A and B are shown apart, each in its own frame.
Chain A
């Protein structure tokens, strides 16, 4: 009983924090107190005030507006990454899990090869070939995340392909595609859900890390990682800049983290 409450606590807190961040992100995409990129000489490195609740950065841009927009950017990249990863992963996982045999061997060995590399290192290679930028980061990370998803989905398909309902569908003459994506996929969804939540987490971290290194989102667009990297130079002059940005990243990750753990335990 006690355990049940704790699990639910994680799930609900996770949902609450993530929901809050999602609302902030949506607001950040549409409305911010100031234009997040607008520069103002007179308010360079301005402190906390009624006009600027978190102060201003070295270009005189409102930090609160930038964090709002930054959450939006970071979330967009995370959603894009997970979407690309899930679509690729599902296709590969479904094919390998359902058919098995040679298809399975070839695709999964390739999968293992990609998984064997450290993700960030591979992302660096992708970026140096394709050039930096928001969409390239999404693509690179999406491709890198796909093998992880493929494994999980392959497992589910492997488990399901011999179950009675699949056999019945086969006897009724349903095509392979129909069985894979109409019958098995919805049943694998439960497992995918927590994986997706973890994926969001990793994507947020990876985007922040890459932008921090200067290969992700390009200035002047706001991104939490990029802002943290900029804030670094003014750590002693305006510590609030780095702290506020850091808290935003922590909250984003905490939310998804708790959500995924809650989902995992619930499943």
Chain B
């Protein structure tokens, strides 16, 4: 046993040094690129069941809905060629594009579209991930190229839901969408090896502009440092999110793109667990957490501080003034704790997924900041799939540091999860006033009024100190020098089809 332990540690020690020198595929195969991703696609390959943002950003390349978002956040027609909405906004008529084919070679028919929408809306008995789809009354095929979707109530965001990966068009005759995904996107799914990779190849019969690069491998590299070493060694050509300090380790053979991740990173609190059911405790934590200090220490000063569940890419809905709802103030924090009955602080656990180093680092800084008001926080690192099941699905946690993104570019995608009856309300936030505003917003037609309601909801979340909001993280995308064409989306997607090899 002693020998074994000695050898294990020797390996660990030498790995740290040796790995840096190992170079894998150097020149590389010009028709293939490798994209590093931090997590496996464990939830599902079925676009209607994929919950993780990390899964959806990969599936974006395989699937399309009737509409799809472009890099400006606008909705462009995809499987549908055009659509019209009736006067009262209750009937959307989609005219299908001629000659769109599935990856299995079959033509997309109106039946497939009807099946997909109904499946994604949960009308076929499965659970729906898009809450707003419960509003769908019926899906009718009016002729072989036209599908009509009838709603119960007017919803101006409806086209945005239709454009999300969660409403992708899939063939009605695919028996195993979980394991053998078939879509209409620019890339065709080839295979998946759990904990290893997902391989895709260009779909040559794509209706739009085909992808430039023939083969793509998404390689799972849960360890951030190993990801950097793989980039340096040339085995990975691109990866989506690395930290600012890691970019300094890469040589200038990489082009590093800087953008924002378009998510709300926060210490999310479980409102069903004491003492987080007490607004004074939550406010105290907000006063103790110094956003700028977190960004400076753990993110090299790169990131935009946030004050509510909305990020700047949302434009009209985003309220920059909420960022300063709670400015760091330790005496106020201590006072609030005393009022709440915790003059000496309390113990709490912060659960973080161990494969996301930025969240682990943030948690470490938070622990220090909370210590200043006597709150003793301990970090518990868990595997990503444990996080998904325990924290997200079963809500068995006290607090967690995570980034919440928007699956569609609608205010509901960010704010809907705080509706007390929402399926994805993993913080168990419940406020009758918020619920009322949310319900009102769903039926308000006038855009200005709706925006006003959403802004009120945002303000309420901030004032209620629903969570300890931190920032929209800066995103650094290193791309191998031979490649070009990376585009940022205001959504959490990686559009591989737009990448191309530079002319030599």
Which of A131, A233, A242 contacts B224, CB < 8 Å? Answer: A233
Q: Is B144 an interface residue (CB 8 A)?
A: no
Of A39, A58, A209, which one neighbours B8 at CB under 8 angstroms? A209
Q: Are B365 and A59 in contact (CB under 8 A)?
A: yes
Contact (A214, B293) CB under 8 Å given A220-B379, A236-B249: no
A228 at the interface (CB under 8 A from B): yes
* B16 x A232 contact (CB < 8 A): yes
**Which residue of chain B has the shortest Cβ distance to A38 in the bound complex?**
B368
Contacts of B17 in A (CB 8 A): 235
Measured between C-beta atoms, what is the minimum distance from B1 to chain A in Å? 5
CB < 8 Å A-B pair total: 86
Please state if B249 and A205 are interface contacts (CB–CB under 8 Å): no
Q: Return chain B residues, CB-CB under 8 Å to A59.
A: 297-298, 361, 364-365
Are B249 and A237 in contact (CB-based, < 8 A)?
Answer: yes
Decide: A219 near B245, CB < 8 A? Known: A202-B5, A233-B225, A242-B16: no
- Give complex CA distance A107, B363 in Å: 44
Contact of A39 with B380 at beta-carbon distance under 8 Å, contacts A58-B245, A119-B5, A209-B8 already known: no
Q: Which residues of the partner chain B approach A233 to less than 8 Å between Cβ atoms?
A: 224-225, 228, 245-246
A201 at interface by CB-CB < 8 Å: yes
Q: Mark B234-245, 1 if CB is under 8 A from A, else 0.
A: 000000000001
Q: Looking across the interface, which residue of chain A has its beta carbon closest to that of B379?
A: A218
Closest chain B CB from A217 CB (angstroms): 10
A120 to B367, Cβ gap below 8 A?
Answer: no
B20 & A131 in contact (Cβ 8 Å cutoff): no
Given contacts A59-B365, A209-B8, contact A132 B380 (CB under 8 A): yes
Partner of A212, one of B12, B245, B246: B12
Quick check: B365 and A132 within 8 Å, CB to CB?
A: no
Question: With an 8 A cutoff between CB atoms, is B484 at the interface?
Answer: no
| C-alpha gap A235/B12 in the complex (Å) | 14
Q: A120 contacts B8, CB within 8 Å?
A: yes
Give chain A nearest CB distance to B351 CB in angstroms.
10
Encoded as 1 (CB less than 8 Å from any A CB) or 0, chain B from 1 to 17 comes to 11011101100110011
In the assembled complex, A182 has its CB within 8 A of some CB on chain B: no
The one of B13, B298, B368, B380 that contacts A37, using a Cβ cutoff of 8 Å: B368
Asked if A205 and B9 make an inter-chain contact with CB atoms under 8 angstroms apart, the answer reads: yes
- Contact status B4-A118, CB under 8 Å: yes
B354: interface (CB < 8 Å): yes
Q: Chain A residues near B329 (CB, 8 Å)?
A: none
Contact size class for A?
35 or more
Contact A209 B380 (CB under 8 A): no
Q: Is the CB of A209 within 8 A of B9?
A: yes
Q: Is A41 an interface residue (CB 8 A)?
A: yes
**Does A94 reach chain B (CB closer than 8 Å)?**
no
Among A198, A220, A246, find the residue whose CB has the most chain B CB atoms closer than 10 A.
Answer: A220
Which of B369-399 touch A at CB < 8 Å? 371, 378-381
Cβ–Cβ < 8 Å partners of B381 in chain A: 132, 214-215, 218-219
Closest CB in chain B relative to A51 CB, distance in Å? 18
Give me 11 other A-B pairs in contact (C-beta within 8 A), A59-B365, A236-B20 excluded.
A39-B297, A59-B298, A132-B381, A205-B9, A219-B364, A220-B368, A231-B16, A233-B228, A233-B245, A233-B246, A246-B13
**Which residues of A line the B interface, CB within 8 A?**
37-39, 41, 44, 58-60, 118-120, 131-133, 148, 198, 201-202, 205-206, 208-209, 212, 214-215, 218-220, 228, 231-237, 242, 246, 249
Enumerate chain B interface residues (CB-CB to A < 8 A).
1-2, 4-6, 8-9, 12-13, 16-17, 20, 224-225, 228, 245-246, 248-249, 293, 296-298, 354, 360-361, 363-365, 367-368, 371, 378-381
| Closest 9 pairs (CB-CB, A-B) | A205-B5, A220-B364, A41-B296, A232-B16, A218-B379, A205-B9, A233-B225, A219-B364, A214-B354
